[in-house]
Amino acid sequence: SETVERHEFGAEVGRLLDLVVHALYSDREIFLRELVANAADAMDRRRFEALTDAASVLPPDAKVRIVPDKAARTLTITDAGLGMSKQDLAQNLGTIARSGTRAFSQSLNETRPAETKTGEDGQDPRPSLIGQFGVGFYSAFMVADRVSVTSRRAGAEEAWTWASEGQGSYTLERAERAEPGTDIVLHLKADADEYLEPYRLDHVVRKWADFITVPIALVQDGKEEAANQGTALWRKPKSEITPELYEGLYRQVGMNFDKPWATLHWRAEGQLEFTALLFVPGAKPFQAFEAERESKVRLHVRRMFITDEANLLPSWLRFVQGVVDTEDLPLNVSREMLQATPVLARIRRAVTGRVLSELTSRAKDGADYAAFWENFGPVLKEGIYEDHERRSEIAPLLRFRSSAVEGWTSLPDYVARMKDGQEAIYYLVADDADALARSPQLEGFRARGLEVLLLSDHVDAFWPDSLSRFEDKPLRSVTQGGLDLSKFAPDGEAGEAPAGIDALVAALKAALAADVSDVRATDRLVDSAVVLSASGSGPDLQMQRLLRRAGR
Ligand code: ADP
């Protein structure tokens, strides 16, 4: 039937709209970036689908068009992308199926205007949160009091219009559209006149349009003017790229708002030809990358975007963002082929090596490296047990708290400080750093001037066993029994074993026989009376705790 269907938004959409419109009001020009990015993305997706489905082939002059209409007070963003079916419209624009949304509203609440810190460039950092949480489309309601989206899915005949005033409900009705793609029509608010002015639109789009490889045109009086060259920034010579341009691309590819900690841009020539432009973020992204364990570095073939699911970097470098563009794959490379091709494996190896050597060189500056380590150290540690081949390169990059020094220290530094006769590298793992510093497990080591590395990250229960040695020194958990400290004299007077200790041990053993495998007198304690210890060969205490929690 040809009727208009009315639907209520999911409760979360309502809340979100309120936040987007009110809390994110400053710097609202970013709505245009969000909508054009969606349009360009839809064109990329259509091109990718066309590899296996002829119905999706993009027309040769496919563009994103930005069309202001002063008379009608509308701004239209049109694309020749993949389009949306009726169901896609309802799902993508009517509900929020993302767990990121709750985190998004939380982080907004945490940065209410009163406490808001301004970003380094003096701008309120909140607006950029929109993109990070994938609520980009709704930012249209910052400037429009009515938005209508007419779309036709590639491969389908029918078109549908989604429309809403951003107030609790939306409508869906049949529409006409000659070709696949999407038109987003913004009926601008009274105070959003500026987005009808071509010079203003041009200014906004140029800030980031060059990072988008799909052509974008601004339409004025029926004439189209290119707003970008569609050149991929990474293909330009380094000498032509300013730090601002790099940052712009960084913000675009990762939806980041900070400055990159590292920018790596190089071209590999010879056996393997590719250009890479990679960034290590300067801040931890809000989106928990714990859940998303795969690298999202984008693969392009001769500038054309292919996929961000090629695992161009191992998961323990998943915080790295950016683009790899190669000549060595055919444009119509399929997903199956991507899995199998040795080219990708070679690129992966080269890119991983380059990132590690960058980290190695930046690690020489302790303060600079600490900024990186505090964001991504726990992720890098995963490489120790996931990547045997790279283990020896990763180990010196690790940083630790220690019982002996302030701040961060490394394995090579620990080894350099080892006492005469000390054979092992000692470490202690616990859930939190404060508990570590107070642990009775440390007493005997402190008294003997033996340094202990203090580990409190989630992954710390796992990697020391995989590394097992560093520079030929075994890693030993101080909670494992069988550590003999007798050859090191404790500071102060040497304690004689008190009289009657054997009788006490025997009594405790009898009383606790059901719960412990042994009770021993120890020289590892100074102030405390007792300490739990794991057996010399089994898992250490932290690992036992984890196994118990996992119900083993
Ligand atoms: P995100 O882009 O982060 O996924 P958005 O709220 O901006 O979040 O968009 C939601 C979804 O709507 C997109 O993931 C996409 O599937 C769809 N969408 C938005 N704009 C378009 C468009 N122009 N063409 C096709 N699909 C679109």
* Residues of each annotated binding site: 34, 38, 79, 84, 92, 99-100, 132-137, 182, 335
44 lines ligand 1 (CB under 6 A): no
Which tokens belong to 301? 């073939």
- Cβ of residue 134 lying under 6 Å from some atom of ligand 1: yes
Q: Please report the pLDDT score of residue 462 as a whole number.
A: 87
- Ligand 1 centre to CA of 236 (Å) is 29
pLDDT in tens, 3-30: 899 998 877 777 777 777 765 555 678 7
Neighbours of 123 (CB within 10 A): 13
Distance CA 515, CA 509 (A): 9
137 lines ligand 1 (CB under 6 A): yes
469: left (phi over 0), alpha (psi -120 to 50) or beta: beta
Nearest residue CA, atom 20 of ligand 1? 38
- Closest residue by CA, ligand 1 atom 4: 134
Nearest CA to ligand 1 atom 23: 39
Distance CA 399, CA 435 (A): 19
| Numbered residues of the known binding site for ATP | 34, 38, 79, 84, 92, 99-100, 132-137, 182, 335
Look at ligand 1, atom 18, and give the residue with the nearest C-alpha. Answer: 38
CA–CA gap between residue 68 and residue 387 (Å, rounded): 53
For tokens 């409190």, what's the residue? 456
Q: Mean pLDDT lowest for which of 63-67, 92-96, 334-338? A: 334-338
Q: Is 257 exposed, middle or buried (0-12, 13-18, 19+ CB in 10 A)?
A: buried
Per residue in 420-477, pLDDT (tens digit) is: 999 999 999 987 877 787 888 888 888 888 999 999 988 898 899 999 999 999 999 9
ipTM of the predicted structure?
Answer: 0.98
What pTM does this model have?
Answer: 0.65
Q: Is the CB of 248 under 6 A from ligand 1?
A: no
Amino acid 431: pLDDT: 79
Task: Give the residue whose CA is nearest to atom 15 of ligand 1.
Answer: 92
Q: Which residues contact 310 (CB under 8 A, 6 or more apart)?
A: 297, 299, 338, 344
Please indicate whether residue 21, judged by its CB atom, sits closer than 6 Å to ligand 1: no
